[in-house]
Amino acid sequence: MSNLTLSVSPHIRGKITTRTIMLDVIIAMCPVLVMSVYHFGFRALLLELISAAACVACEYVWEKLRKQPITVMDLSAVVTGLMLAFNVPVTMPIWELIVGDIIAIIVVKMLFGGIGCNFMNPALVGRVALFVSFTGDMTNYSFSRHVSVDALTSATPLAALDKLNFGDFWELFIGNHGGVMGEVCSLAILIGFVYLVVRKVIKPIIPLTYMGTTLLFSWIFGQNQPVLALFSGGVIFGAVFMATDYVTTPFTNKGKLIFGIGCGFLTAAIRCFSNSAGGVSFAILIMNLLVPYINDLTRTRPFGGVKAK
Amino acid sequence: MSRSRLPGARVPHWKGTAQMAPRRMPVPPEVAIPMSMNIGAPAKPVVKPGDEVKVGQLIAEAGGFVSSPIYASVSGKVKRIDEMLGSNGRFMPAVVITSDGEQTVYEGIAPPEVTDLQSFLAAVRDSGVVGLGGAGFPTAAKLTVKDNSLIKYIIVNGAECEPYVTSDTRTMLDDAPYVMKGVELLKKYLGDPKVIIGIEDNKPQCIKRFNELNTAGLAEIHPLPSLYPQGGEKVLIYNTTGRIVPEGGLPIDAGAIVINCTTLAFIAKYMETGMPLVEKVVTVDGSAVKTPDNVIVPIGTPMSAVFEFCGGFKSEPRKVFYGGPMMGIAVPTLDAPIMKNTNAIVALDDKDAHIPEPTACIRCGLCIDHCPLNLMPVEIHEAYEKRDGAMLETLKVNLCMECGCCSFVCPARLNHVQTHKLAKNVLRAYQAEQKAAAEKKKAAEEAKKEAAAK
C-alpha cells in the first residue's frame, strides 16, 4: 500500500498550458489568415503554411540533433512561422521566406536556449533579416485584388499618406491596399485582439498604449494624417501580435505601460525621421532589448513588505 | 471602504459534501496519537504502556507555552509509545492506544470555571485546542496578548477557500449557535473588540444562517469573494479590515486576531461540557473515494479506517493528502493518523495524482498576476537557480505563504511552491552568513580600536 505519490502542494493545476495559450494565439490570427487569402489569393495561404511548417521542422531537427526533448507540440513554432509569413509580401520567393524561418527559430530561439530564453522576438528578427538581405523582395508590396481607390494603388499607403482622405478610410481598414500579407486588414487584426483580450491571453495595455502613443507622436512630429499612419503599415499587427509576446515583454503592468509607450514613440520617430518601412520592427526590437532593465525597475511591491534597512 | 482586492486564483470548488451532515464512525480498534499536532513544541506523554485510559483523559501535557495538551480519544489500554513517521517526513513520538470499544468517558470531565481572562485562557489551553482550520497553532497562545487593547478586530475565519473541504461549512450550518457563543466569549474576555465573520460567497447558506443568528449585531457578517486564498490570514485581515500585517509580524501587529470558525465553536462547546478535543469532523473526498462524506473521527484513527467507513476506494488511491489540494500535505502511507488540525483527507486516483512534467518558463507573468502577496515567482525561480541570496532577499521570498496560486496558474507547470520552500532555505543561509560576516567585522573593528587605545 505504499504506492502513494509524494509531492509538494498544490495537488491540482489550472487548465491553461503553454500549448493552450499558443493555440489561442493561432486562433486569434485566423481572421488575419482568412483576410490575407481574400486579398492576395491562395499563394498567401501556401506561404503561411510553408512558413509554419518550416519553423516546426527547424525546431524539431535542432532538438533531435542536440538530443533534447522535443517541444514542437507546444505550438510556439507555428505561431512564429505564421507571424513571419504575415510580415512578407505575397510575392516573396519561398526559399527566402524559409531562410527567415531558419534565422527566427535556429538563431534567435534555439541558440539562446529555446522557448522562453530568446531576448528578442524571433519572428521580428527573421523579418528584419529578410528586410536587409532581400530588400527588394520584401518591399515589393503587392496590392489587394479588391483595391478600388486610386490613391491607394498609387503607392503603399504609408508613402502616400498626404493624398488620402477619410473617405478612403474604410477601404484602408478592411485592407484594400498594398502591403505585406498580414498587415493590410486592420479589422481582422483587431478581431484577433479582442479575442486575445477576452480569453485573457494578453492584457490590452501594450497594444493600446502602443497605438495611442504612435498616434500622438505621429501628430507631434507633424504627420498630416496620423490616424492613417496608424491604420497603414504594421503598427496594429505589431502592437497586437508582436509587442505582446510574453518572453520579450515586461512582467508587470507598469513595465508593459513603459514598453508600449516606448514602442509607440520609436515607431513614430523612425517613420518620421528615417522613412524606414521597418519602423515597427525596429521599435519593438529595441524595446525587447530594454525589457530586462524595465523588469528590474518595475518590480512589484510585496504585500506587507518592509524596506530593507 | 474602497481598496483594491488582493489577487488570487479561481480554483474549483468541488464542495460536493457540503450538504452531508457529519456521521460518527465506529470506534477503531487502535489509535496512534502523535505528540506533534500543533505548531510549536510537541506534547510530553504522561502515560506509560499498560495504563488504562478513558475518553478525555490527559495523555500528554503541553511541552511549552506554544504547545497544547493531548487527551485520549478512545477508552482502552496504552499499548506503546512509539516513534512514527509524521507527514513532515520526520519521526515523532506517538501514543498508541488499543480501544476497548466502550468509549467510557473520563470521570474528571467537568465544565471549566471561567470568571476572568486568566481562567478563560487557562480553559482554552486545557481544552487542547489548536487552529482547526489546518495550521494547528495553539489557540491559547494566539489569544494571549500583551494588552487586550491591542486587539481591534477578531476575525472569525469561515472562508474555507480550499476545494473539497466542507468541515467548516458543516460547523457553520450545524454549530452556528456555538460560533456565536464563542463570539460572545471573545468579546467578553478580550476587551470587546469588533468581531467580523468572513465567509466566501460560495456558501450562501452559511451567510444566511449567521445573518439570522446575528440579530443582536454581535458580529459583522462579511461575505468574501470566492477567490482563493480568502482564508489566508493576511488576505482575510486585509479583505475584511484593510489592515496589512507587516513583514515578519503577527496579525496582532495589525491589531487583529484570526480564529477559525470550527476552533471557536469548539471552545464554546468546551465551556459547556468540559470535553477536550478528542475528535474531529473530517471531510473525506477525492476521485478515488467511493462515497465522499463528512465523518466524526476520533483523533489518532488511521486514515485507512476512515476511508473504509466511506465505502473504501473505487480505484487504487495514488495520492493521499491531509487538507485541501492547494496546500494539503501528501502522506506516504494510509496509516497516517487523523490529527487535531486535520479538516479533510483526500485520495486521488491514478489520473488525478499524475504530476505534469514542467516545461520551460514562457515568462507570461501569470504567477505574478495571481500572487495574493504581490511576489514575483518567476524572478524568485531565477534567483533560486543562481542561489542568489541577495536577490531572494530583495524579492522577499520569505513572505510567501505557499498558498499555491502560482503553481496552479503556471502554464509551464513549474513547481513554484517547491522552489519557494527551497529558496527560503537559501535565503536563511545567506542571511546567517551576512550576520556572521557583520559580527566578525564588528569584532575586528573593536579589536583594532582596543589596540589603538593601548
A13 touches chain B (CB under 8 A): yes
> Comparing B215 with A308, which gets the higher pLDDT?
B215
Rg of chain B over all Cα atoms, to the nearest angstrom:
23
DSSP string, A200-268: TSS-SHHHHHHHHHHHHHHHHTT-S-HHHHHHSTTHHHIIIIITT-STTS-SSHHHHHHHHHHHHHHHH
Q: Do B321 and A9 touch (CB under 8 A)?
A: yes
Q: How confident is the model at residue B1 (pLDDT cuts 50, 70, 90)?
A: very low
Q: Which of B250, B273, B296 is the last residue of a domain?
A: B273
Q: Report the alpha-carbon distance of residue A125 to residue A134 in Å, rounded.
A: 14
Q: Do A1 and B333 touch (CB under 8 A)?
A: yes
Element (H, E) at B433: helix B416-453
> Comparing B133 with B180, which gets the higher pLDDT?
B180
B240 CA to centre of own chain = 20
Q: 232-291 in A: which are within 8 Å (CB) of B?
A: 246-247, 251-252
A164 with A228: CB under 8 angstroms?
yes
Q: How confident is the model at residue B69 (pLDDT cuts 50, 70, 90)?
A: very high
pTM of the model: 0.92
Query: What are the cell numbers at B59?
Result: 495523555
Q: Looking at chain A, which residue has its C-alpha nearest residue B351?
A: A12
pLDDT digits (tens, 9 = 90+) for A37-91: 999 999 999 999 999 999 999 999 999 999 999 999 999 999 999 999 999 999 9
- A72/chain B closest Cα distance in angstroms: 12
My answer on whether B48 and B167 are in the same domain is yes
pLDDT at site B2: 46
DSSP string, A258-304: HHHHHHHHHHHHHHHHH--TTHHHHHHHHHHHHHHHHHHHT----TT
My answer on whether B267 and B299 are in the same domain is no
Residues whose CB falls within 8 Å of the CB of residue B217, separated by 6 or more in sequence, listed in order: none
How many residue pairs from chains A and B have C-beta atoms closer than 8 A? 162
> Comparing B449 with B423, which gets the higher pLDDT?
B423
B289 touches chain A (CB under 8 A): no
Q: Report the alpha-carbon distance of residue B410 to residue A112 in Å, rounded.
A: 22
Give the burial class of B165: count Cβ atoms within 10 A of its Cβ; 0-12 exposed, 13-18 middle, 19 or more buried: buried
DSSP state for residue B164 in the 8-state scheme: S
My answer on whether B442 and B322 are in the same domain is no
In a domain, B454, yes or no: no
My answer on whether B258 and B378 are in the same domain is no
Q: How many domains does chain B have?
A: 3
In a domain, B260, yes or no: yes
**Contact residues on chain B for A11, CB-CB shorter than 8 A:** 319, 321, 325-326, 328, 330, 346, 348, 353
In a domain, B320, yes or no: yes
Q: Do A74 and B333 touch (CB under 8 A)?
A: no
In a domain, B9, yes or no: no
Q: Do A21 and B331 touch (CB under 8 A)?
A: no
My answer on whether B177 and B230 are in the same domain is yes
Domain span holding position B171: 23-273
A54 with A130: CB under 8 angstroms?
no
ipTM: 0.91
> Comparing B227 with A228, which gets the higher pLDDT?
B227
My answer on whether B339 and B400 are in the same domain is no
Q: Report the alpha-carbon distance of residue B59 to residue B78 in Å, rounded.
A: 9
My answer on whether B155 and B36 are in the same domain is yes
pLDDT digits (tens, 9 = 90+) for B325-337: 999 999 999 999 9
Check whether B165 has a pLDDT greater than 70.
yes
SS3 call for B374: coil
pLDDT at site A291: 96
Q: With a cut of 50, which residues of chain A have pLDDT below it?
A: 1, 151, 153-155, 309
| CATH number of the domain encompassing residue B211 | 3.40.50.11540
Check whether B421 has a pLDDT greater than 90.
yes
Give the Å distances, CA to CA, from A130 to A85, A94, A157, A230, B245.
Answer: 11, 12, 22, 23, 55
Of B326, B375, B376, the CB nearest to A9: B326
In a domain, B55, yes or no: yes
My answer on whether B79 and B100 are in the same domain is yes
pLDDT at site A155: 47
A228 with A169: CB under 8 angstroms?
yes
In a domain, B177, yes or no: yes
pLDDT at site B152: 95
Check whether B47 has a pLDDT greater than 80.
yes
Cell 533534447 belongs to: A68
**Contact residues on chain A for B360, CB-CB shorter than 8 A:** 71, 113-117
| CATH number of the domain encompassing residue B325 | 3.10.20.600
Q: Do A4 and B320 touch (CB under 8 A)?
A: yes
My answer on whether B342 and B424 are in the same domain is no
My answer on whether B155 and B32 are in the same domain is yes
pLDDT at site A164: 54
B267 with B127: CB under 8 angstroms?
yes
A305 touches chain B (CB under 8 A): yes
Of B316, B330, B356, the CB nearest to A6: B330
My answer on whether B128 and B234 are in the same domain is yes
**Contact residues on chain B for A24, CB-CB shorter than 8 A:** none
Give the Å distances, CA to CA, from A7 to B321, B329, B414.
Answer: 10, 8, 13
pLDDT digits (tens, 9 = 90+) for B253-288: 999 999 999 999 999 999 999 999 999 999 999 999
In a domain, B10, yes or no: no
Element (H, E) at B372: none
Q: What share of chain B is helix, strand, coil (3-state, %, to 5)?
A: 35, 20, 45
Chain mean pLDDT for chain B? 94
Closest listed residue to residue A54, CA positions, set A88, A98, A24 = A98
In a domain, B14, yes or no: no
**Contact residues on chain A for B321, CB-CB shorter than 8 A:** 9, 11
Check whether B291 has a pLDDT greater than 60.
yes
My answer on whether B398 and B249 are in the same domain is no
Q: Report the alpha-carbon distance of residue A256 to residue A173 in Å, rounded.
A: 26
Query: What are the cell numbers at B291?
Result: 462515497
